[in-house]
């Protein structure tokens, strides 16, 4: 392996490094053999799904060969491992991803064609592994791919949920949630490891036992034990030279049933323990509004943190023999606070099971862990009621209290002894009943803490972690997010990738900054034409999909204005809808103006319990229904909401987007990663100075992005004054007309007051400052129109965007984590 510092740009590997590409005939025969002997079907009876499984298994064989080599190499070199603990992995489909990274896509397509099967059909058959909610989970998936690409010996650890994020259907404009069932036909990528099982305890009590050194030893006697069973999915890096493991845990009861109860006739009761245990890995984000729901979430978090830590400690001991060297050989990254209980778990393992003295255990723990924060929203920063934790995890709670006592003692001695300061620094929040602050626990238990964009990392220091940062300056660092270009450029947009490769060469996906080479062609008429032709073809394809899914016909020459992300008030889909309504009114009253045909495309899910967000979805649908069917609009404006947003749908929309809406209230979007994917694929951004938008602006330049609205410090100042929207509404006729239309039922004639509450909230309690930013947003949208009219100018900006997005590759992000946080070596892609 090369040194940790070596993150020098990669070059394409020499043929001897790259896996040998098998012949088409060999692949064809392998697929046929899989179909016959693994799926149990013959060609005559095989369904598309059967072909998909056979093809997946055939490429999996290649992945597995390389996987074993990777494991053997890591073992032999004794290299440090990285453990990425995340409650979410939003992987999406893997077939095209695995084929791309193993560089088997053309051969496999040809082999299938010989069998009369179209690879693109098989792509559509694969269910999305939707084990995540949004950006945080997708980031974890991009990071897994980049860690493999850079040959970091890494494991992802999470939960194998039976049901991932719900399936969204829209009925009468409203979101309905249905259970998602990605495993119903089996998952060809995973390997069950029935022999890798750990017991995870809950409840019970602690016994203080006498020990030779006089200090009582704390022994936890759990009341209940749940088993965690490992399922491994190999994750192939680009060029397939290195493969890592995503290990997901499923919950199982130690006893499949209570035989005595069953035989006495209580058939349901006999299964109760099992149902209770298995509910832990049943669904992603079970509702947590009830106490039972909260308890289940905490059980999920401890379940996967504990199993993962037991597993990595076992691996460390079998490789290196000495628990005291753990921090030299293992880095554990906490993806948000969900696995933060792992800090207490590692202390429990070190102190209680391995008799490591407390202070030394604490040093090992801090040197092993690091923590990524993904949000500053107070409601998203986890806290758990102390009584719940005391009941469920008594020993861990004891450990947390002791960590806190030592920490506060140190703070008091070092001059921070003012009571309010200590209250802010404490692991226990006493303002809302006693609650454990998981962010604080993750912070204290880590040697590095990072935000996910430059702005966000700075805001961490001035807001939620202000006091902890002052007590421990230098601990907070920034790691701006990135996205993997293999999925978000090559797989999503193969035509654009081919065009770019003509200029940049084959090394494009090895070193994304090479994209800069297309910048000199920004004004080149023929390159512009070719780039625009690719975009148009992608728009035609998306228009077809929209027609199929929601029955609305789109004009592929219209401006495709796209907002795709979770539905949340801070992301301000409502601002976008207000502008849509304003333009709708103007098209009707001033039909003679030189309007630009435009399509507003929305997609995203709202949390099932988030009533306002669900109302926003309904409004988008209602506005679409009215606008799309109004003959005076003459197709100049369309508004569509595409149901069930997921990774695969994103792969279809992003390559077809012209304009990317990144319009959150400044200071509230930690980073965003959709913004990066869209800009990379040639959509211009309209956005606030928020999250990674700020850095996108720096990279593409102010002429090639549309920035509007209040900046983060202005947002804070404005909120301190007032959050009433009345003044802004009084100032803007356009805004007041749009609100009036929505509030009076123009888009909901069957229920005129449907949106009264939304309009009232914006008028009197506009926390997200929609009204304050409306005029500035509206004006910026007119700048967008002007640029769109200047076809060459638009195309130029598009090319400049793509050219400058190389820095936003997750390979860059992971390279920085490797050097500055984990201290592990990396290599160029294809060179394991
Ligand atoms: C999300 C942020 C995004 C960010 C992703 C990945 C959570 C808690 N946070 O802005 O909202 O891009 O994390 O870092 O999902």
What would the pLDDT profile of 136-193 be if each residue is shown by its tens digit?
999 999 999 999 999 999 999 999 999 999 999 999 999 999 999 999 999 999 999 9
Query: What is the 668 CA–ligand 1 centroid distance (Å)?
Result: 10
User: Alpha-carbon distance 811 to 510, whole Å?
Assistant: 9
Helix (H, G, I), strand (E, B) or coil at 775: helix
In the numeric block, which tokens belong to residue 344?
């207490």
Helix (H, G, I), strand (E, B) or coil at 234: strand
User: Alpha-carbon distance 322 to 318, whole Å?
Assistant: 9
- Mean of the pLDDT values across residues 197-225? 94
Helix (H, G, I), strand (E, B) or coil at 559: strand
Q: Is 619 in the pocket of ligand 1 (CB under 6 A)?
A: no
Q: Is 670 in the pocket of ligand 1 (CB under 6 A)?
A: yes
Q: Is 672 in the pocket of ligand 1 (CB under 6 A)?
A: yes
The residues with which 598 forms a beta bridge, in sequence order, are: 559, 637
Q: Is 452 in the pocket of ligand 1 (CB under 6 A)?
A: yes
Query: What is the 188 CA–ligand 1 centroid distance (Å)?
Result: 29
Residue whose structure tokens are 């984000």: 285
Catalytic residues: 374, 565-566, 571, 673, 677
Q: Is 139 in the pocket of ligand 1 (CB under 6 A)?
A: yes
pLDDT of amino acid 213: 80
Q: Is 175 in the pocket of ligand 1 (CB under 6 A)?
A: no
CB distance 335 to 140 below 8 Å: yes
Q: Does the structure show a pLDDT above 50 at 28?
A: yes
Q: Does the structure show a pLDDT above 60 at 4?
A: no
Residue nearest to atom 3 of ligand 1 (CA): 672
Residues of the chain with pLDDT > 90: what percent? 93
Q: Is 685 in the pocket of ligand 1 (CB under 6 A)?
A: no
pLDDT of amino acid 830: 87
Residue 686 parent element (H or E): strand 684-687
- Mean of the pLDDT values across residues 395-422? 90
pLDDT of amino acid 360: 98
Out of 135, 456, 688, 712, give the residue to mutate to test ligand 1, the one with the largest number of ligand atoms within 8 Å of its CB: 135
CB distance 436 to 427 below 8 Å: yes
Q: Is 439 in the pocket of ligand 1 (CB under 6 A)?
A: no
Q: Does the structure show a pLDDT above 50 at 827?
A: yes
Q: Is 373 in the pocket of ligand 1 (CB under 6 A)?
A: no
In the numeric block, which tokens belong to residue 147?
């860690």
Q: Is 674 in the pocket of ligand 1 (CB under 6 A)?
A: no
pLDDT of amino acid 211: 85
Q: Is 380 in the pocket of ligand 1 (CB under 6 A)?
A: yes
Query: What is the 138 CA–ligand 1 centroid distance (Å)?
Result: 9
Q: Are strands 217-221 and 205-209 parallel, antiparallel or unpaired?
A: antiparallel
Q: Does the structure show a pLDDT above 90 at 289?
A: no
pLDDT of amino acid 18: 44
The model's pLDDT over 574-609, given as tens digits with 9 standing for 90+, comes to 999 999 999 999 999 999 999 999 999 999 999 999
Out of 284, 481, 671, give the residue to mutate to test ligand 1, the one with the largest number of ligand atoms within 8 Å of its CB: 671
Query: What is the 399 CA–ligand 1 centroid distance (Å)?
Result: 30
Residue 236 parent element (H or E): strand 224-236
User: Alpha-carbon distance 354 to 369, whole Å?
Assistant: 18
- Mean of the pLDDT values across residues 1-11? 37
pLDDT of amino acid 432: 84
The model's pLDDT over 790-819, given as tens digits with 9 standing for 90+, comes to 999 999 999 999 999 999 999 999 999 999
Query: What is the 374 CA–ligand 1 centroid distance (Å)?
Result: 5
Residue nearest to atom 13 of ligand 1 (CA): 136
Q: Are strands 684-687 and 706-707 parallel, antiparallel or unpaired?
A: parallel
| Closest ligand 1 atom, residue 691 Cα | 10
pLDDT of amino acid 21: 55
| Closest ligand 1 atom, residue 134 Cα | 15
Residue 538, C-beta contacts closer than 8 angstroms, at least 6 positions apart: 493, 495, 496, 655, 656
In the numeric block, which tokens belong to residue 242?
């290195």
The model's pLDDT over 671-692, given as tens digits with 9 standing for 90+, comes to 999 999 999 999 999 999 999 9
Query: What is the 672 CA–ligand 1 centroid distance (Å)?
Result: 6
Q: Grade residue 380 by pLDDT with cuts at 50, 70 and 90.
A: confident
Out of 372, 379, 452, give the residue to mutate to test ligand 1, the one with the largest number of ligand atoms within 8 Å of its CB: 452
Q: Grade residue 538 by pLDDT with cuts at 50, 70 and 90.
A: very high
Q: Is 676 in the pocket of ligand 1 (CB under 6 A)?
A: no
How confident is the prediction for the chain on average, in pLDDT? 95
Query: What is the 587 CA–ligand 1 centroid distance (Å)?
Result: 37
Residue nearest to atom 9 of ligand 1 (CA): 374
| Closest ligand 1 atom, residue 138 Cα | 6
| Closest ligand 1 atom, residue 673 Cα | 12
CB distance 681 to 657 below 8 Å: yes
| Closest ligand 1 atom, residue 372 Cα | 14
Q: Does the structure show a pLDDT above 50 at 77?
A: yes
Q: Does the structure show a pLDDT above 50 at 647?
A: yes
Query: What is the 133 CA–ligand 1 centroid distance (Å)?
Result: 10
Helix (H, G, I), strand (E, B) or coil at 435: strand
The residues with which 178 forms a beta bridge, in sequence order, are: 167
How many CB atoms within 10 Å of residue 454? 17
CB distance 194 to 229 below 8 Å: yes
Q: Grade residue 416 by pLDDT with cuts at 50, 70 and 90.
A: low
Q: Where are the beta strands (DSSP E) in 550-664?
A: 559-564, 598-603, 637-642, 659-662
In this predicted structure, which of 7-11, 15-19, 467-471 has the lowest mean pLDDT? Answer: 7-11
Out of 337, 464, 670, give the residue to mutate to test ligand 1, the one with the largest number of ligand atoms within 8 Å of its CB: 670
Q: Is 673 in the pocket of ligand 1 (CB under 6 A)?
A: yes
Query: What is the 642 CA–ligand 1 centroid distance (Å)?
Result: 22
Q: Is 664 in the pocket of ligand 1 (CB under 6 A)?
A: no
Query: What is the 34 CA–ligand 1 centroid distance (Å)?
Result: 40
Query: What is the 94 CA–ligand 1 centroid distance (Å)?
Result: 23
Q: Does the structure show a pLDDT above 80 at 417?
A: no
> Which among 664, 557, 567 is positioned nearest to 611, based on CA atoms?
567
pLDDT of amino acid 7: 35
């Amino acid at each position: 392996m090369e040194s940790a510092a070596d993150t020098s740009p990669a070059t394409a590997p020499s043929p001897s490094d790259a896996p040998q590409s098998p012949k088409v005939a060999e692949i064809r025969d392998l697929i046929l053999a899989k179909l016959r002997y693994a799926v149990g079907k013959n060609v005559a009876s095989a369904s598309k799904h059967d072909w998909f499984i056979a093809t997946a298994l055939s490429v999996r064989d290649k992945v597995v060969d390389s996987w074993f080599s990777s494991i053997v190499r890591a073992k032999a070199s004794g290299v440090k491992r990285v453990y990425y603990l995340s409650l979410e992995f939003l992987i999406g489909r893997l077939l095209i991803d695995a084929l791309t990274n193993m560089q088997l896509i053309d051969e496999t397509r040809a082999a299938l064609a010989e069998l009369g099967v179209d690879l693109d059909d098989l792509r559509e058959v694969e269910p999305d592994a939707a084990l995540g909610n949004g950006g945080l989970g997708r980031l974890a998936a991009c990071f897994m791919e980049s860690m493999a690409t850079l040959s970091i010996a890494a494991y992802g650890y999470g939960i194998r949920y039976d049901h991932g994020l719900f399936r969204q259907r829209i009925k009468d404009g409203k979101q309905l949630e249905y259970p998602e069932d990605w495993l119903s036909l089996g998952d060809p990528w995973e390997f069950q490891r029935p022999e890798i099982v750990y017991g995870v305890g809950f409840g019970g009590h602690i016994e203080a036992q006498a020990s030779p050194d006089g200090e009582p030893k704390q022994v936890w006697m759990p009341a209940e034990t749940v088993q965690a069973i490992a399922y491994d999915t190999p994750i192939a890096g680009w060029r397939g030279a290195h493969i890592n493991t995503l290990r997901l845990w499923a919950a199982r009861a130690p006893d499949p049933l209570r035989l005595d109860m069953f035989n006495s006739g209580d058939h349901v009761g006999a299964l109760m323990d099992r149902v209770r245990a298995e509910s832990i890995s049943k669904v992603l984000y079970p509702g947590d509004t009830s106490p039972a729901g909260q308890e289940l979430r905490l059980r999920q978090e401890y379940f996967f943190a504990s199993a993962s830590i037991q597993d990595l400690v076992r691996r460390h001991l079998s490789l290196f023999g000495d628990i005291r060297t753990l921090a030299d050989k293992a880095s554990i990254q906490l993806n948000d606070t969900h696995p933060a209980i792992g800090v207490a778990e590692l202390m429990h393992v070190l102190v209680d099971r391995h008799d490591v003295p407390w202070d030394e255990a604490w040093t090992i723990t801090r040197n092993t862990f690091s923590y990524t924060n993904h949000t500053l929203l107070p409601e998203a920063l986890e806290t758990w009621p102390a009584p719940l934790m005391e009941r469920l995890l008594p020993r861990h709670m004891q450990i947390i209290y002791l960590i806190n006592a030592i920490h506060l003692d140190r703070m008091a001695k070092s001059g921070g002894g003012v009571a309010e300061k200590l209250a802010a620094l404490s692991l226990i929040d006493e303002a809302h009943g006693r609650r454990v602050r998981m962010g604080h626990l993750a912070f204290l238990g880590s040697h590095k803490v990072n935000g996910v964009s430059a702005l966000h990392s700075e805001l961490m220091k001035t807001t939620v972690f202000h006091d902890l940062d002052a007590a421990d300056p230098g601990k907070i660092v920034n790691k701006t997010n990135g996205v993997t270009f293999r999925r978000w450029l090559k797989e999503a947009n193969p035509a654009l990738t081919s065009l770019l490769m003509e200029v940049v060469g084959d090394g494009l996906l090895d070193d994304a900054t090479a994209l800069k080479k297309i910048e000199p062609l920004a004004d080149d008429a023929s390159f512009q034409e070719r780039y625009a032709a690719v975009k148009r073809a992608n728009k035609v394809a998306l228009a077809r999909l929209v027609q199929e899914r929601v029955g609305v016909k789109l004009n592929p020459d219209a401006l495709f204005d796209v907002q795709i992300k979770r539905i949340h008030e801070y992301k301000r889909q409502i601002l976008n809808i207000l502008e849509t309504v304003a333009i709708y009114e103007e098209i009707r009253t001033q039909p003679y103006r030189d309007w630009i045909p435009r399509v507003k495309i929305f997609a995203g899910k709202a949390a099932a319990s988030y009533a306002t967000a669900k109302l926003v979805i309904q409004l988008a649908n209602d506005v679409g229904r009215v606008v799309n069917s109004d003959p005076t609009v003459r197709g100049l404006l369309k508004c569509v909401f595409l149901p069930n947003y997921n990774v695969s749908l994103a792969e279809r929309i992003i390559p077809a987007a012209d304009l990317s809406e990144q319009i959150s209230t400044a200071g509230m979007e930690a980073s965003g990663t959709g913004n990066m994917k869209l800009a990379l694929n040639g959509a211009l951004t309209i956005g606030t100075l928020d999250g990674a938008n700020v850095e996108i602006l720096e990279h593409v330049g102010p002429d090639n992005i549309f920035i509007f609205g209040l900046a983060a410090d202005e947002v804070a100042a404005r909120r301190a004054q007032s959050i009433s929207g009345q003044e802004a509404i009084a100032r803007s006729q356009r805004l007041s007309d749009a609100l009036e239309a929505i509030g009076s039922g123009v888009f909901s004639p069957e229920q005129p007051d449907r949106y009264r509450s939304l309009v009232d909230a914006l008028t009197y309690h506009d926390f997200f400052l929609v009204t304050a930013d409306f005029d500035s947003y509206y004006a910026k949208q007119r700048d967008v129109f002007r640029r769109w009219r200047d076809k060459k100018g638009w195309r130029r900006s598009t090319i400049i965007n793509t050219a400058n997005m190389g820095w936003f590759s997750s390979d860059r992000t992971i390279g920085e984590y490797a050097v500055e946080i984990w201290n592990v070596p990396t290599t160029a892609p294809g060179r394991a």
